[in-house]
A = this chain, B = another copy of it.
């Protein structure tokens, strides 16, 4: 059983051969809305995948670069991973944990906090929508890339609307009303 990062790398290398550098860029760009990883995590993980026979080096390029691709065994491992039942996710959001304690700082600071959160999610939403416009309209991989990005778009939209609702709700209660 590999780590999620391992499967992510394996999935990318099942699509086409890439160097560690290119894989790192993928996690920082095309995959940033679902998973992220720095190069210091990628290179050691590639060594593990190679030792396990799931990928192999298929090319040695300029600047000491090594290009890997998935072996038949590696591609089979990805497919098995994709068919496994999803484990329960443990939610962990620092911004939302803070909201839980926001009554400790008074209405003004609370309002400031919620407005900043709304702005943050609004910006992220705009960024995702810009990326969505650039995804090609054909191809199997592009379709599923678009589908996963849509989740990011909907989550950011939901959080933007939530932050705006939260500000109104807190305001209404402080004005003497009842919570929603």
Interface of A is mostly: helix
Smallest CB separation, A42 vs chain B (Å): 15
CB neighbours (8 Å) of A32 from chain B are 91
Interface: A33 (CB within 8 A):
yes
Copies in the complex: 2
CB neighbours (8 Å) of A144 from chain B are 99-103, 170
Q: Which of A96, A100, A165 has the most CB of B within 10 A?
A: A100
Residue of B nearest to A87 (CB): B94
CB neighbours (8 Å) of A158 from chain B are 154-155, 157-158
Interface residues of A (CB under 8 A from B): 4, 7-8, 11, 14, 31-36, 75, 78-79, 81-83, 85-105, 109, 113, 116-117, 120, 137-138, 140-148, 150-152, 154-155, 157-159, 161-162, 165-166, 169-170, 173, 178-180
9 shortest A-B CB distances, which residue pairs?
A: A103-B140, A158-B158, A11-B101, A34-B96, A99-B148, A154-B158, A35-B97, A34-B97, A100-B148
